[in-house]
Structure 1
Amino acid sequence: MSERYEAIRYARAGDVALISLDRAESLNSLNGRMRRELTRAFTQAPQEGARAVLLTGEGRSFCSGQDLGEAQRQGMPDIGRTLREEYVPMLRAIADCPVPTIAAVNGVAAGAGAGLALMADLTVCGKGSQFVIAFARIGLIPDAGLTYLLPRLVGLQRAMGLTLTTEPLTGEKAEDWGLVWKAFEDEKLIEESLALAQRLAAGPTLSYKLAKQALRAGWEDSLTAQLTRESELQTEAGRSRDFAEGVMAFLEKRKPTYEGR
């Protein structure tokens, strides 16, 4: 990749783009540079041929949330403006990424770090990891998409409980609650997450892109609108080379080779 990064690391493992939050000294807290770099990386990775993106954190934490030290040094800036101008583009870049995205949560995902993790298509974690919706500890409300995501993922009561009590939720319980896709043994997290990303990268990524659009829209659409959307997107999928390859591979009893088109 031509871009240079300071707050994150970017690498490639075949068709998988590996993005690591790289401010371990601050438990990978989100500062302005990291937000801008994440926005750029999630936008550029698929443009440069990545067929899946894996996000994790360096060191002992996934992301501890907003860098409060930065906020204090800036004289407590307008939080709403920061959300609109920096967080929204970052979160949209992840949600709108046309290839599968996976967040692998190691250690703690706190505050906006939890929102960052849950915005991915699939969130996995170590069994010993923790999700902490910590905003009330400093007199704020959840942001980074959490007021949207949490009730939909775990229900209103559990979302309220996590928000009002700020009690940590372990990775193992997060799996039980449906907050994440899977919880792995901590020492196996990166290995298992990379294997999952490589599996998806070898799949019909055009189909994945269309399925992501349909599933995310389904949270808001009426049944009639969603049935119409399905027919439109399925028409596009049915015209793809991947669909033709998938059918042929099934009939020939072989493993398909997908191109993402």
Structure 2
Amino acid sequence: MDSVLIERRDAVATVMINRPERRNSLNGDVKTALRNALTEVAADQQIRAVVLAGAGGHFCAGQDLKEHADELSTGGAESAFSTVAEHYAPIVRSLATMPKPVIAAVEGSCVGAGLGFALACDLRVFAKNATLATAFSAIGLTCDSGLAHTLPRAVGDARARHLVLLAEPFTPAEAVRWGITGDMVDPHETLAAATGLAERLASGPTTAYAETKRLITETWTRTLDATLSAESRAQSRAGASTDHTTAVRAFLNKERPAFVGR
């Protein structure tokens, strides 16, 4: 059984972590397959939106601790934690920077690296009964999977410290209230809702979406003047797209634009 599945339907790709018997926890096979799958769909110009999901009613329960313990005992900490640079960082970087929108369909367990993956996506759909947690400090670790970057930006510095240091689970309703934006749906409806959102985005101006992702990601390290300059360059690139020309013409003709993604 493939540990990660890719389903393509028109311009939407669904990347499914497929280890349901372990709540989609991340062993070496899953991490390598997920990294490679995301690289593949990011480069596929026929795909204009991506859904990240988990099989069997769970999103991702984080690192497989049995495999981690085995690696610690045989290879030591250096070997066990090489996965952070080898797998977790590329996965999060791919989700955050691929030039198309990514939607997380979150249900069941979404903890540790799973939470990091969800926050690296552009949008999230939560099952109302999903369980969210940072989890790291509960096993004597600090953040990885981008959480030190994404969590404070989503919920603020003080709340992020609280969530990481205490490692207490929290609900999707709390997440939305604190600033981790997302739609909430009934259990088992997350994939359909996320796919519907992806289909909507896949029919939109993909070039403009890619420029928006880049601007928002990079603005945290820029001054206002640098951001204004970056916006000017990005707007020029988006303005040179077929989608922009088509949309302006459609607006003037009081028609609905048909975006082609370039």
Scaled by the length of structure 2, the TM-score of the pair is 0.94
Kept in 2: contact 1:125–1:180 (CA 8 A): no
Q: What is the 5 A alignment of 1:96-135? A: 96-135=97-136
Q: Provide the rounded CA distance (Å) in 2 between the counterparts of 1:127 and 1:249.
A: 39
Greater Cα offset, 179-188 or 10-19: 179-188
Q: What is the 5 A alignment of 1:197-236? A: 197-236=198-237
Helix, strand or coil at the partner of 1:183 = strand
Q: Provide the rounded CA distance (Å) in 2 between the counterparts of 1:220 and 1:47.
A: 26
Q: Provide the rounded CA distance (Å) in 1 between the counterparts of 2:113 and 2:141.
A: 11
Q: Provide the rounded CA distance (Å) in 2 between the counterparts of 1:124 and 1:109.
A: 12
- The alpha carbon displacement at 1:51 in A equals 0.7
Helix, strand or coil at the partner of 2:260 = coil
Pick one of 6, 10, 28 that aligns with 1:10: 6
| 1:48-96 CA distance string (max 9 Å, x none) | 3111000111112111101111112222542442211221112112112
Helix, strand or coil at the partner of 2:220 = coil
The count of residues paired between Structure 1 and Structure 2 equals 257
Q: Does 1:72 align with 2:69?
A: yes
Q: Does 1:47 align with 2:43?
A: yes
Structure 1 regions of 5+ residues with no counterpart? none
- The alpha carbon displacement at 1:245 in A equals 0.7
Q: Provide the rounded CA distance (Å) in 2 between the counterparts of 1:164 and 1:46.
A: 34
| 1:139-177 CA distance string (max 9 Å, x none) | 111211111111111011211111122111111111111
Kept in 2: contact 1:71–1:77 (CA 8 A): no
Determine the structure 1 residue equivalent to 2:53.
56
| 1:110-151 CA distance string (max 9 Å, x none) | 111100111111122111112111111111112111111111
Structure 2 regions of 5+ residues with no counterpart? none
Kept in 1: contact 2:124–2:194 (CA 8 A): no
Pick one of 18, 22, 29 that aligns with 2:25: 29
- The alpha carbon displacement at 1:184 in A equals 2.0
Determine the structure 1 residue equivalent to 2:94.
93
Letter in structure 2 aligned against 1:197:
A
| 1:218-254 CA distance string (max 9 Å, x none) | 1211101100000001011111111001111111222
Kept in 2: contact 1:128–1:172 (CA 8 A): no
| 1:21-44 CA distance string (max 9 Å, x none) | 101111101112212212211121
Q: Percent identity?
A: 39
Kept in 1: contact 2:49–2:202 (CA 8 A): yes
Kept in 2: contact 1:124–1:181 (CA 8 A): yes
- The alpha carbon displacement at 1:181 in A equals 2.4
- The alpha carbon displacement at 1:13 in A equals 2.0
Determine the structure 2 residue equivalent to 1:150.
151
Determine the structure 2 residue equivalent to 1:162.
163
Determine the structure 2 residue equivalent to 1:250.
251
Letter in structure 2 aligned against 1:249:
A
Scaled by the length of structure 1, the TM-score of the pair is 0.94
Helix, strand or coil at the partner of 2:8 = strand
Letter in structure 1 aligned against 2:239:
G
